[in-house]
């Protein structure tokens, strides 16, 4: 009998790619998603990639009665928790909505797990918890801070998980701090599908390359970086998905632990380097203009990846060209 994993937010960007990798690794997947920021058709796409249909429950992680029923119906080995809201600007405008979804929703989920005695939890945290980094690369013991409500929700949940582990040491918890996930499945069948104007660089660049938008605004070229534009650790979403499988395997095979691990490549690329790489993938220049800095942005950010390598035996191996090639293939399917 293969092991069953509950994946909240499993029809979203990172969740869908992780479902594919979980199925490839022999796990059975049950997805719980409200479809607030994703489409039901993603389930068909996952099935055509993996040849397996995931079970799907449309619902909200804040619905305690539903969760109780789901945990009664299935015996899960673990929960991977992707469901949540992630737009920094929106979190400033709607803080209560962010705390409700990301913090209260996670507490409701953890309570349901506690009652059902399911105590393996993989959490989507973010490099945003490092604030403005004091050292590069950033190790996991770097001090944490947040400059916006979204970042605070990640910090608060990390803290809740630490408190929970301190009170009940039979939990296996992984707090995975993602850097900048980009790219898509190489089939072009699943990828990132932002609603409205993309907030993040790569989906915006993809829409310029496909002619949906005129040009990218490069937010600042006077940072203390080699070309003056912001530097980030972009990680291919398939590498990230495999990082989740590695974390799950680690948690299930080892003694209970509170694990905190960076998932990044350990290398940074500038905005201009990413635009150039995308131009190569799409075969056409991506128009851009230099614009003022975006408030709250930092100059540079990249991960210290040693802990992921030693603990999880995992490292990201896809380069920026592969990230852009795959994102472009996905974009082509979207815009046709
Ligand atoms: P996404 O929006 O594509 O996926 C999130 C999914 O959760 C969506 O399908 C949405 O419908 C669902 N959802 C939201 N609120 C829900 C609720 N209350 N109940 C049930 N389902 C709900 O986002 P993503 O990029 O795949 O991000 C997944 C997780 O990773 C999020 O927690 C996010 O904060 C975190 N993260 C993302 C990034 C990034 O850059 N994409 C970086 C670091 C961390
Ligand atoms: C990358 C670089 C921008 C858009 C955000 C969240 C973070 C995490 C990942 C969830 C920066 C520049 C961007 C544009 C630009 N998400 N840029 N023009 O800001 O590193 O991280 O997503 O946890 O919490 O803050 O990612 O893709 O927005 O920006 O010049 O139109 O691209 O200034 O240097 P960021 P991003």
Q: What is the DSSP string of 88-143?
A: HHHHHH-HHHHIIIIIIHHHHHHHHHHHHT--EEEEEEEGGGB-S-SSSSBPTTS-
Mutate to test the pocket of ligand 2, among 200, 270, 302, 320 (most ligand atoms within 8 A of CB): 200
Closest C-alpha to 101, from 85, 117, 114, 112? 85
Per-residue pLDDT at 2: 82
Residue 62, judged by CB atoms within 10 A of its CB (0-12, 13-18, 19+), counts as middle
Helices and strands: H and E segment counts in the chain: 12, 13
CATH topology of domain 4-183+234-266+303-317: Rossmann fold (3.40.50)
Per-residue pLDDT at 333: 84
Q: Where in the chain is the domain with CATH 3.40.50.720?
A: 4-183+234-266+303-317
Alpha helix positions (H), 210-270: 237-253
Architecture of domain 201-231+267-302+326-335: Alpha-Beta Complex (3.90)
Between the CA of 307 and the centroid of ligand 2 the distance, in Å, is 24
Measured CA to CA, the distance from residue 68 to residue 5 in angstroms comes to: 16
Closest C-alpha to 261, from 85, 142, 132? 142
Measured CA to CA, the distance from residue 106 to residue 62 in angstroms comes to: 8
Closest C-alpha to 113, from 23, 173, 34? 173
Catalytic-role residue among 98, 150, 234, 250: 150
Per-residue pLDDT at 305: 98
CB 288 within 8 A of CB 152: no
CB 234 within 8 A of CB 179: yes
- For 96, the token pair is 């209560």
**264 pocket-lining for ligand 1 (C-beta < 6 Å):** no
Closest C-alpha to 165, from 259, 74, 235? 259
Half-sphere exposure of 34 (CA within 13 A, CB side): 14
Give me the residues of the chain with pLDDT under 70, please. 1, 336
Measured CA to CA, the distance from residue 99 to residue 78 in angstroms comes to: 24
- Judged by phi (left if over 0) then psi (alpha if -120 to 50, else beta), residue 90 lies in alpha
Mutate to test the pocket of ligand 1, among 10, 12, 87 (most ligand atoms within 8 A of CB): 12
CB 298 within 8 A of CB 154: no
pTM summary value:
0.98
**106 pocket-lining for ligand 1 (C-beta < 6 Å):** no
Per-residue pLDDT at 1: 66
Atom of ligand 2 nearest to the CA of 223: 34
Nearest CA to ligand 1 atom 25: 13
Residues in a beta bridge with 251:
none
**Which residues fall within 8 angstroms of residue 336, CB to CB, at 6 or more apart?**
none
**Which residues fall within 8 angstroms of residue 206, CB to CB, at 6 or more apart?**
278, 327, 328, 330, 331
Active site residue 150: yes
Q: Residues lining ligand 2, CB < 6 A?
A: 86, 88, 126, 128, 180, 199-201, 204, 216-219, 230, 232, 271, 294, 297
Q: Where in the chain is the domain with CATH 3.90.25.10?
A: 201-231+267-302+326-335
């Amino acid at each position: 009998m293969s092991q069953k994993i509950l994946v909240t937010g499993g029809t979203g960007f990172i969740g869908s790619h992780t479902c594919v990798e979980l199925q490839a690794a022999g796990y059975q997947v049950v997805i719980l998603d409200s479809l607030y920021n994703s489409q039901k058709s993603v389930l068909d796409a996952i099935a055509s990639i993996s040849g397996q249909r995931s079970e799907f429950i449309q619902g909200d992680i804040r619905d305690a009665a539903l969760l109780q029923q789901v945990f009664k119906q299935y015996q899960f080995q673990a929960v991977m928790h992707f469901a949540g809201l992630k737009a920094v600007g929106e979190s400033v405008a709607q803080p209560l909505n962010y705390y409700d979804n990301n913090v209260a929703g996670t507490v409701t989920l953890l309570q349901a797990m506690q009652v059902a005695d399911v105590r393996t939890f993989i959490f989507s945290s973010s490099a945003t918890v490092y604030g403005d980094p004091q050292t590069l690369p950033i190790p996991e013991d770097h001090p944490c801070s947040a400059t916006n409500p979204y970042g605070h929700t990640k910090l608060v949940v990390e803290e809740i998980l630490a408190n929970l582990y301190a009170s009940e040491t039979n939990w296996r918890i992984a707090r995975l701090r993602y850097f900048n996930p980009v790219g898509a499945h190489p089939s072009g069948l699943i990828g990132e599908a932002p609603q409205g104007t993309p907030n993040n660089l790569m989906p915006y660049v993809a829409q310029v390359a496909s002619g949906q938008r005129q040009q990218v605004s490069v937010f600042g070229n006077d940072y203390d970086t080699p070309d003056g534009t912001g530097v980030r650790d972009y990680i291919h979403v398939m590498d990230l998905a495999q990082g989740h499988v590695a974390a799950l395997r680690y948690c299930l095979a080892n003694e209970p632990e509170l694990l905190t691990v960076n998932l990044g490549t350990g290398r940074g690329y500038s905005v201009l380097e990413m635009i150039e790489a995308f131009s190569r993938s799409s075969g056409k220049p991506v128009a851009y203009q230099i614009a003022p800095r975006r408030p709250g942005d930092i100059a540079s950010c990249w991960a210290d990846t040693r802990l992921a390598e030693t603990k999880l035996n995992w490292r990201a191996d896809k380069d920026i060209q592969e990230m852009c090639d795959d994102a472009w293939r996905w974009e082509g399917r979207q815009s046709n």
